[in-house]
Amino acid sequence: MSEAAERQGKETCVPVLTASNVVRRFGGLVAVNNVSFHVKAGEILGLIGPNGAGKTTMFDLLAGSILPTSGDILLNGTRVSGEAAHLRIGRGLGRTFQIPRPLPNLTLIENIMLAAQGQAGEKLLANFLTPWRVAAQEKAARTKALELLELVTLSHLAHEPARVLSGGQRKLLELARVMMADPAIILLDEPAAGVNATLLEVIIDRIRDINARGITFLLIEHNIDMVTRLCHRVLVMASGQLLSEGTAEEVARDPRVIEAYLGGTA
């Protein structure tokens, strides 16, 4: 079990991630309007809603890409509302993006190794004063990166440049890369977008496998079949507000959700 997952396990009584009365304004536009929810340790929570509902803005707020106008965001009970994204990564929050952008000319293993945290070799003097430590950490990082490539079924391409990957394979690479940072929770931004049916099954299986290791997930997704198969709970946003919460079956029967998606037609 990863160090972050062990830390998460010790704090099971505290939600891994909490949004409390979060508001985000862009001038006169209220993109997120007084949204509150929590993510339980070990669950896969889905966040769905029609286009323009505020889902991506909510993800950006949780990840630290943008800061809330008001309200609080807590990670394992610690307030992180004003922290930048790189500080939240250090606290165990990882994020993938709808359109992955690996460094195309680096190999897959090199792309993953870049996400390793706390590497002594990042400091210039350490390479001269403690080269053995730098070498040992790099060896460990390479071994871990290979294991993660095996996990996401890309080990046969470990030494190929990332530019050769298909869209679905890039999603798998990004999943491996975020795992390199030992997250306690991963925010997945539309993992099914642009992925063929075969690779989508692989992605679903890998998410389940990683979740079984104790890693929590919050995912935005338009593929309702994927949400139904994966998510323990589902949140629905519309017009910047939290509209409904429950199992996939429960929210699908909610008249407010039907109205938001279909304009009131069943």
260 contacts: CB under 8 Å, gap ≥ 6: 49, 50, 53, 236, 238, 239, 243
Give the model's pLDDT for residue 264: 46
Just give the CATH number of 3-101+182-262.
3.40.50.300
* Cβ density class 158-197: b for 16+ within 10 Å, e for less: beebbeebeebbbbbbbbbbbbbbbbbbbbbbbbbebbee
Q: How far apart are CA 256 and CA 266, in angstroms?
A: 11
pLDDT at 123: 55
How high is the pLDDT of residue 18? Answer: 97
Per-residue pLDDT of the chain (266 residues; tens, 9 = 90+): 455 545 444 445 789 999 999 999 999 999 999 999 999 999 999 999 998 999 999 999 999 999 999 999 999 999 999 999 989 998 999 999 988 999 999 999 999 998 886 554 455 555 545 565 656 777 888 999 999 999 999 999 999 999 999 999 999 999 999 999 999 999 999 999 989 999 999 999 999 999 999 999 999 999 999 999 999 999 999 999 999 999 999 998 999 998 887 664 43
Residue written as token pair 């993992």? 191
Distance of alpha carbon 167 from alpha carbon 46, whole angstroms:
22
**For residue 232, what pLDDT is reported?**
93
pLDDT for position 116: 80
* H or E element in which residue 230 lies: helix 224-230
- d(CA 249, CA 202) in angstroms, rounded, equals 24
The closest of 221, 128, 243 to 171, measured between CA atoms, is 221
- Domain boundaries, given as residue ranges, for the chain: 3-101+182-262, 103-164
- pLDDT, residue 3, reads 53
pLDDT score of 82: 94
Contact 71, 34 (CB under 8 A): yes
Residue 83, token pair as written in the block = 């922290």
Residue ranges of the alpha helices (H) in 64-196?
A: 85-90, 108-113, 126-129, 131-151, 167-179
**Which residues make Cβ contacts (< 8 Å) with residue 265, sequence separation at least 6?**
258
* pTM across the whole model: 0.87
